[in-house]
Amino acid sequence: MLEDEHLHLCRVRTQRSVPHYLTIADLAKEAGISRSVLADRFRHYLSEPPMSYLTRWRLQLGAQMLTSTSCSVAQVASEVGYESEPAFNRAFKREFSLPPARFRLESKSARQSRSAVPLKPNGIPRQTGKYQIGG
């Protein structure tokens, strides 16, 4: 899906300014268009309002941090622009259907189970998949 240059400028600014509080007016000014035009373009090209996009972007970054760092939930919340851990927890649960700490735990468990290689009794990895060699 193609987008116009004004919307591109807003998305770049949003992604560079995650911890800073942005308003629609800030984004519109950055793009050089009015707030109503900005909102219309976001809805047309991205099917969501600008602030919904920003919220989703911040939560995606938070999810990435939860799975790739040992930062506390409070640190992650602050890094992605939330002023309080409870506000981050509520928004995160709305987006991912799990609170952040449980999301981290379940993501870690899923990674560990995917990386485990089944072994034969003699310690040799089992062949898995459609074509197995030997028994």
Query: How much is the pLDDT for 40?
Result: 94
pTM score > 0.75 for this model?
no
* Residue 67: closest CA among 96, 35, 106, 40: 106
| pLDDT value for 37 | 93
Distance CA 92, CA 115 (A): 27
* Enclosing H/E stretch for 11: helix 5-16
| Secondary structure class of 35 (helix, strand, coil) | helix
User: How far is the C-alpha of 91 from the C-alpha of 10, rounded, in Å?
Assistant: 22
For 29-72, write each residue's pLDDT tens digit.
888 899 999 999 989 988 999 889 888 988 999 999 999 999 99
Q: Which range among 14-23, 25-34, 82-91 shows the weakest confidence by mean pLDDT?
A: 14-23
Radius of gyration of the chain (CA): 21
Bridge partners, 119 (sequence order)? 125
Predicted pLDDT at 6: 67
What is the CATH number assigned to the segment(s) 5-113?
Answer: 1.10.10.60
Which of 62, 41, 72 shows the shortest CA–CA distance to 27?
Answer: 41
